[in-house]
Structure 1
Amino acid sequence: MKKALGILLLLSACEFRMDDETARKNLEPSVKIQFGDLAVGDRNVHYAFVDRQKEHLLVFVHGSPGSWNAFIDFFKADTLLHEFDMIAIDRPGFGGSGFGAAEPSLEKQAYQMNEVLKGFSGKQIILIGHSLGGPVIARMAMDYPNAYKGLILVAPSIDPELEEEGWYRKVISTEVGAFFTPKEFEVSNAEILTLKKELEEMLPLWKQIKIPTIVIQGTEDALVSKENAAFAKTMIPDSLLYVNLLEDANHFIPWSHPEEIVKAIRQLADRN
């Protein structure tokens, strides 16, 4: 995952966390959002959800840094709200899931997400992961192959060969570097430092993905190479994979092209 310092500094001004009460006010009265916390081992996993007893459950997993509210606009979308239940989860170290304490292991992150989703049993589950959320949901499908109906990988960091080790990451990981780094980026840095190794460990597991998968990737993504989409083609059979390359789109597809994600959701929901 390539991130220039200038972009990091720009993003540091963004609001990555939103407290539950602010989110509630942002969504109500049209959306009756609920919040939950689940203890998984020594971790707390925080999540937001709308449960109207629909057949399909959409699960949104954010990138790095980020939090569940990266997808708050999808909770407002009438076309989704009336047809799907939705849940967005704070990954470990972000939002309300042990903020500041990184969890570099994708296997452990996948386990934590899956434990939360056990509370929504009986639904057809579609996983949507943006950026680093992409390999997290891929790992979920690898480790729990019978639990999910489909995957939507949005600008995902999945090819270990494309992971570059920026010099600034080692600086951030020092005591002095951490002092001058916003906590969200300190956590992000910790999990991205080990991402290449984590993705290498996943290489023999891709064959365990047996569900339809859609990759949405921008051709002008400066943070995650579009070649990650090509990698997906080598790992997932053509019968299960559809790649949607968006011309001139950058990394921030959930906000610039949300309609493409909605279209992908419908494709998977309608597939038998």
Structure 2
Amino acid sequence: MKKLVKSLKFWIVILLLPMVLVGCSSWIMDFDSDFVSDEFVSREQLQVGDISLSYLISGDPNGQRVIFLHGTPGDAGGNWYEMLRNVPDGYQFIAIDRPGFGHTKPRKQVVELDRQAAVLEPLLVTRNGKGTILVGHSLGGPVVTNAAANFPDKVAGIVVAAGALDPDLEEVLFIQHVGNVPPFVWLLDKTAKHSNKELIALEDELRLLQPKLAGIKQHVRIVHGTADELVPYENVPFMEKEMTGAASFKVTTIDGMNHFLQWRSRNELREAVFDITKSLEDERKTAAR
């Protein structure tokens, strides 16, 4: 131990650990926002068990409901404000602060996909015979996928945007495990700690999710960039192979696009939502004949 403490490399790791963990945990410090509400987008709270879920809402109160989930880290305002600022006619958009992030309380980490999906259930509504559409970016992708599996009668379709679904593609660096234990974890703020814990747990959570994928019966749309270095495009063929029971399954591949679809590819995400809505309307018309 004395030799370790005297080691220059040891102290370099100690001093640089917060920055290293920030890099490993997918750009931790830059994607939170302090946004509460404005004239276009309102904030509401919903008690779900012991969680006070905070979410943003905008659009037609009687329209097709679409719920957006951010990845890790992040929050509703930082990731989805522009989407909620410009809601198309006939839609109601909601973006939640996932447990552990943003204004959702208590600010306690929830790594289990089942528990994260469960907080969505009270927001899942059916209007005009059509259930709720879910859009999940990055780690939000497996959360909305899990919700589709768990609530088949309430979720009408999902858009997985740059989603991490293949457990074999998950890699946790040694430094992330170091950052998850004292005294190193004390160097990180709450957002960084929560993000790191989610990423460490994700592979195991995806293995629990994998057996459910074939049973997903809803409409599925995948949007992914070929230049995504954080969640590789190889996740897409995995989803194609596993989601064999989907009512429809379509992939939008964006050549040269990186991971940040909610800022750079909002049109493609909207089109994926519109396409699910069209499929639901076609189903409704067919059933009415």
8 Å CA contact 2:225–2:257 kept in 1: the answer is yes
1:85-131 per-residue CA deviation (whole Å, 9 max, x = no partner) reads 0111111000111364110110011011112x15x453631110000
The answer for the alignment partner of 1:262 in structure 2 is: 270
8 Å CA contact 2:215–2:243 kept in 1: the answer is no
The answer for the alignment partner of 1:76 in structure 2 is: 85
Q: Are residue 243 (structure 1) and residue 255 (structure 2) matched?
A: no
TM-score normalised by L of structure 1: 0.88
Distance 2:242 2:168 in 1: 14
1:27-82 per-residue CA deviation (whole Å, 9 max, x = no partner) reads x2xx2x322212222222111112523331111011000111110000122xx342
SS at match of 1:103: coil
8 Å CA contact 1:132–1:157 kept in 2: the answer is yes
Using the TM superposition, give the Cα deviation of residue 83 of structure 1 relative to its aligned residue in structure 2, in angstroms: 2.6
The answer for the alignment partner of 2:44 in structure 1 is: 36
Amino acid at match of 2:186: F
Q: Which runs of 5+ in 2 are unaligned?
A: 1-19, 283-289
Using the TM superposition, give the Cα deviation of residue 17 of structure 1 relative to its aligned residue in structure 2, in angstroms: 2.8
Distance 1:244 1:84 in 2: 22
The answer for the alignment partner of 2:27 in structure 1 is: 11
1:216-247 per-residue CA deviation (whole Å, 9 max, x = no partner) reads 11111110011111111011137621111111
The answer for the alignment partner of 1:208 in structure 2 is: 215
Amino acid at match of 1:109: Q
Distance 1:12 1:213 in 2: 29
Using the TM superposition, give the Cα deviation of residue 178 of structure 1 relative to its aligned residue in structure 2, in angstroms: 1.8
Distance 1:13 1:108 in 2: 25
The answer for the alignment partner of 2:143 in structure 1 is: 136
The answer for the alignment partner of 2:14 in structure 1 is: none
8 Å CA contact 2:26–2:72 kept in 1: the answer is no
% identity of equivalent residues: 28
- Kindly report structure 1 stretches of 4+ aligned residues shifted beyond 4 Å: none
The answer for the alignment partner of 2:108 in structure 1 is: 101
8 Å CA contact 2:69–2:76 kept in 1: the answer is yes
8 Å CA contact 2:21–2:176 kept in 1: the answer is no
The answer for the alignment partner of 2:234 in structure 1 is: 227
Distance 1:66 1:209, change over 3 A: same
Using the TM superposition, give the Cα deviation of residue 189 of structure 1 relative to its aligned residue in structure 2, in angstroms: 0.8
SS at match of 2:252: strand
Matched positions, count: 257
Distance 2:218 2:211 in 1: 17
Q: Are residue 253 (structure 1) and residue 261 (structure 2) matched?
A: yes
Alignment of 1:102-181 (within 5 A): 102-115=109-122, 117-118=123-124, 120-122=125-127, 124-181=131-188
8 Å CA contact 2:51–2:106 kept in 1: the answer is no
Distance 2:171 2:28 in 1: 21
Distance 1:202 1:55, change over 3 A: same
Distance 1:5 1:221 in 2: 20
Structure of greater relative contact order (alpha carbons < 8 Å, 6+ residues apart): 1
Q: 2:68 aligns with which of 60, 64, 72?
A: 60
Bigger CA drift: 100-109 or 175-184?
175-184
Distance 1:152 1:61, change over 3 A: same
RMSD, matched Cα: 2.0
Distance 1:6 1:182, change over 3 A: closer
SS at match of 1:169: helix
Between structure 1 and structure 2, the one with the greater Rg is 2
The answer for the alignment partner of 2:93 in structure 1 is: 86
8 Å CA contact 1:139–1:202 kept in 2: the answer is yes
Q: Which runs of 5+ in 1 are unaligned?
A: none
